[in-house]
Amino acid sequence: MRVGFIGLGGMGSGIVRRLIAAGHEVTGWNRTAEKAAPLVEEGMRLAAGPRDAAAGGEVVLTMLTDVRALEAVADEVAAGLHADAIWVEMSTIAPDESRALAARVPAFLDAPVSGSLSTLAAGELSIMVGGERRHFDRVEPLLLDIGPKVTYLGAQGNALLMKMAINLSLVVQGMSFCESVAMAENGGITREAAVDAVLKSVIASPMLHYRAPMILDGGMPETPFANAALQQKDQQLGLRLGRELGTPLPLASLANEMLTLVRSAGLGEQEWIAVYDVLRRMGGGT
C-alpha cells in the first residue's frame, strides 16, 4: 500500500520501519525534521508537510503526543486525503475527541496501540481499532504488518476506551510491583534478587518483563518508553472517562497521585517506573 505517516517519534518511527520492511511505500512527515533523516535513508519519502504526507497515502496514519499536537495538523491532513483514503489515528486521545475528528472526514478509525518500543521491535505490538467495520476490513492487513494482535472493538471511540482501561491497570500493576520490591529491599533482600523473584512468579506479566529491569543500576533506557509526565496525561484521560461513565477507579486514582510524586521529585522526564526511587526515599532507602 501507499501509506502516509505523520508523527515520527519513537513509536512512530518504529512503525514506519516495519511498514517499509513489509514492502509498503511510506511518505512521512514530522515536526522535527531531523528525526525523519534515518527513515529517509531506509526508504521513506520525506513529505513537505502534513498535507503532502496525507496526499501520498491510500491509508494515512497519525501518531502524535496529544490532542493539541493532533489538532495542529488535523486540517492539513484532512485537506490532503484522497476521496477513498482512510485515516487511521493511533494517538492516545479521549474517545469524544476521536469522534469529533471522525465527523470531519469520510473514513476514519481510531487505532491506539498497547505495548512498548521493545514489543514493537519484537513484532508483538497490540493494536485496538474502533470505527466502521468496512474501513477496518480494508486496513487490517496493513495493521497486521505492524503487529500480530489486532482487535476490532466496534464503534468509533471504543478502541480508545479500551486503551485507557488497559493503561489504568498497567500503571496500578507497575506501582504495586515497585512497592513489593521496595519492601523486600528494606527487609534485606537485594534489589536484583527481588526483581528476579518477581519475574519468576505468578504475578509476572509482559509489561513487568520489560520494565522491571529498569529499576536496576543502568537499567533505565536513554529514551523513555513513556515518561512520567506523558503517562500521567494518559492516566488522567482514563480517570476523567471513569467519572463520566460512573465507574469508581480508586486504585487508578492513587496510582495517579504517585505519578504526581514522581514529577514533584524532578523525575517527570524519566520512565514512569522511576516511582521506585520515590518509594525508596519515602521509606528511608537510597
103-159 pLDDT, tens digit each: 999 999 999 999 888 889 888 999 999 999 999 999 999 999 999 999 999 999 999
Q: Which cell goes with 73?
A: 495538523
Using one digit for the tens of pLDDT, what is the confidence trace for 202-249? 999 999 999 999 999 989 988 888 899 999 999 999 999 999 999 999
Cα–Cα distance, 56 to 48 (Å, whole number): 11
Is residue 283 over pLDDT 90? no
Other beta carbons within 10 Å of 74: 21
Contact 129, 110 (CB under 8 A): yes
Instruction: Provide CB contacts within 8 A for 21, sequence distance 6+.
Output: none
Distances (CA, A) of 30 to 4, 49, 233: 11, 8, 21
Cα–Cα distance, 265 to 62 (Å, whole number): 33
Show the domains of the chain with their CATH numbers: 2-155 (3.40.50.720), 160-282 (1.10.1040.10)
Quickly list DSSP for the chain: -EEEEE--SHHHHHHHHHHHHTT-EEEEE-SSGGGGHHHHHTTPEEPSSHHHHHHT-SEEEE--SSHHHHHHHHHHHHHH--TT-EEEE-S---HHHHHHHHTTSSSEEE--EES-HHHHHTT--EEEEBS-HHHHHHHHHHHHHH-SEEEE--STTHHHHHHHHHHHHHHHHHHHHHHHHHHHHHTT--HHHHHHHHHTSTT--HHHHHHGGGGSTT-S-SS-SSBHHHHHHHHHHHHHHHHHHT---HHHHHHHHHHHHHHHTT-TTSBGGGHHHHHHHHTT--
Amino acid 285: pLDDT = 67
What letter represents residue 126's amino acid? S
Using one digit for the tens of pLDDT, what is the confidence trace for 167-210? 999 999 999 999 999 999 999 999 999 999 999 999 999 999 99
Contacts made by residues 182-188, CB under 8 angstroms, sequence distance 24+? 182/276, 182/279, 182/280, 182/283, 182/285, 185/280, 185/285, 186/283, 186/284, 186/285
Using one digit for the tens of pLDDT, what is the confidence trace for 61-87? 999 988 999 999 999 999 999 999 999
Bridge pairing between strands 2-6 and 25-29? parallel
Q: Please tell me the pTM assigned to this model.
A: 0.91
Cα–Cα distance, 212 to 195 (Å, whole number): 7
Q: Which cell goes with 270?
A: 524519566
Cα–Cα distance, 104 to 195 (Å, whole number): 48
Other beta carbons within 10 Å of 285: 13
